[in-house]
């Protein structure tokens, strides 16, 4: 039994959730998100709370049960408060700056990297060594942050590169004489 799937999704003030056909839509101050449900999961709305249950007792239905509940809960939280990922840039000459809506990164290449901001996400560079990715869709925010980090992941010897704030980098010892 899914412990996550058993929990109802509580109603949040300012967010309206509608279940129509096989689609769940959440509207709130940060935008609108929708999720198409699988046939093996059913969703009911009762007194503002949302309940997810498996359509049958198959292994796939029980596996999708908790996942679907978590996706709907993330939609509700995202359109209400939004999600944020912070990145930190370390290295001599490594910096980030906004160029219009796009992010311009200097990461030690012979050229500057211009990262285009996708729709539904806001990127900000409050300082030259910090980048903040915000948006309503948790998956999209995490993917955009991972794409920015992938241009220069932190290396283990000096720790140079783009890392998440609070990320621990296992450091290695360099060459010895």
For residue 1, the model assigns a pLDDT of: 58
Q: What is the CATH number of domain 83-164?
A: 3.90.930.12
Instruction: Order across the sheet with 102-106: list the strands.
Output: 95-99, 102-106, 113-115
pTM: 0.89
Give Cα 74 to chain centroid, integer Å: 9
Reply yes or no on whether the pLDDT at 2 is more than 70.
no
CB of 61 closer than 8 Å to CB of 49:
no
Confidence of residue 117 (pLDDT cuts 50, 70, 90): very high
What's the chain's average pLDDT? 93
Q: What would the pLDDT profile of 54-79 be if each residue is shown by its tens digit?
A: 999 899 998 899 999 999 999 999 99
Question: What is the fold, at CATH topology level, of the domain defined by 3-80?
Answer: Outer Surface Protein A; domain 3 (3.90.930)
Residue 81: pLDDT above 70?
Answer: yes
Q: Which 3 state secondary structure label does DSSP give 4?
A: helix
Residue spans per domain, the chain: 3-80, 83-164
Q: Given CA atoms 156, 162, 164, 165 in this order, what sign does their dihedral have?
A: positive
Contacts (Cβ under 8 Å, ≥6 apart) of 51: 8, 9, 43, 44, 45
Grade residue 176 by pLDDT with cuts at 50, 70 and 90: confident
- Rounded Cα distance between 69 and 167, Å, is 28
Structure tokens at 76: 């509700």
pLDDT for res 101: 93
Q: What is the pLDDT of residues 28-50, one digit of tens each?
A: 999 999 999 999 999 998 888 99
């Amino acid at each position: 039994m899914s412990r996550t799937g058993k929990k109802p999704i509580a109603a949040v003030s300012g967010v309206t959730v509608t279940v129509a056909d096989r689609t769940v839509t959440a509207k709130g101050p940060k935008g609108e998100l929708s999720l198409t449900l699988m046939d093996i999961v059913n969703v009911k709305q009762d007194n503002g709370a949302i309940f997810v249950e498996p359509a049958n007792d198959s292994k796939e239905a029980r596996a999708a049960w908790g996942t679907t509940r978590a996706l709907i809960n993330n939609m509700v939280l995202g359109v209400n408060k939004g999600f944020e990922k912070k990145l930190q840039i370390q290295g001599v000459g490594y910096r980030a700056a906004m160029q219009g809506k796009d992010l311009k990164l200097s990461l030690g290449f012979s050229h500057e990297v211009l990262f285009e901001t996708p729709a539904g996400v806001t990127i900000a560079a409050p300082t030259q060594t910090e980048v903040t990715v915000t948006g309503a869709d948790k998956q999209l925010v995490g993917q955009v942050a991972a794409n920015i980090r992938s241009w220069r992941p932190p290396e283990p010897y000096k720790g140079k590169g783009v890392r998440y704030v609070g990320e621990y980098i296992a450091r290695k010892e360099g060459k010895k004489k």
